[in-house]
Amino acid sequence: TTTLTALQSTSDACSWTMGLDIYVAGGYTAGYTAKADVMKWSPTTGATTFVAAASLAEKRGDCVAVMRHDHTTAWVIGGYTSDDWTQAVSHVEAFDVTAGTTGAWTTKASTSSPRGDKAAVFFNDAIYAIGGEKKDGATTVVHDTIEAYDAVSNTWTEITTSKLPSPRFRYAAAQYGGSVYVFGGQPTAVGTGTAAVNPVTNTVYAI
């Protein structure tokens, strides 16, 4: 076990590996204030501290990060800001590691639907944002939809020919071979409380 010193304490952040470096972005403070901070760790150098990278343009937690297979670009997608807990955000940013010493972020086209607590994968030269949640007042609306991002045209398109068999949020996903796998999560949410109110599942889907 290696103990590292981060720039700040955080929860519900997102992370990715780019080249020989690991990045951690966004998240919340202990008081659930969303953050825009981005931290970088270079394990191959023997470093035991994170250093600051360029900050996100939009602070958020419950986000997801996806890296292009050739390690040239990473994207941070959706999540929640602490400015308005009644709605997830559809904001998308791309990270250019070659821009200066700390890299730089560029705002890209927003997802078709606001999505928090979703998963995303890079597959066949596209990003797929899968499931997740948004808010309708005090009610959580869980997505079963999938949308794909084309970086060349900077557009998101909902995949009308494919959906999750049932809505899912707060789950993990991974791409392997010719499929994307979705692991567990919650199919629905009503208010807050015990597992009986917010049930979880052990279902695995292959898309």
Identify the DSSP state of 1: -
Q: Average model confidence (pLDDT) for the chain?
A: 88
Q: Is the pLDDT of residue 93 over 90?
A: yes
- The mean per-residue pLDDT over the stretch 82-105 comes to 88
Contact 199, 186 (CB under 8 A): yes
CA distance 78 to 44: 30
Taking a C-beta distance cutoff of 8 angstroms, is the pair 99, 54 a contact?
Answer: yes
What pLDDT is attached to residue 25? Answer: 96
* pLDDT greater than 90 at residue 84: no
Query: For 49-103, where are the E strands, in sequence order?
Result: 51-53, 64-67, 73-79, 89-96
Model confidence pLDDT, tens digit, residues 181-198: 999 998 887 555 555 566
Query: How many CA within 13 A on the CB side of residue 155?
Result: 4
The rounded distance, in Å, linking the Cα atoms of 182 and 171 is: 7
pLDDT at 82: 82
Rounded to an integer, the average pLDDT of 85-107 is: 90
Q: Residue 156 contacts by C-beta under 8 Å, 6 or more apart in sequence?
A: 109, 110, 111, 112, 129, 147, 148, 149
Q: 147-183, pLDDT tens digit by residue?
A: 999 999 999 999 988 899 989 999 999 999 889 999 9
Burial class (CB in 10 A: 0-12, 13-18, 19+), 136: exposed
Residue with the two structure tokens 């078709």: 112
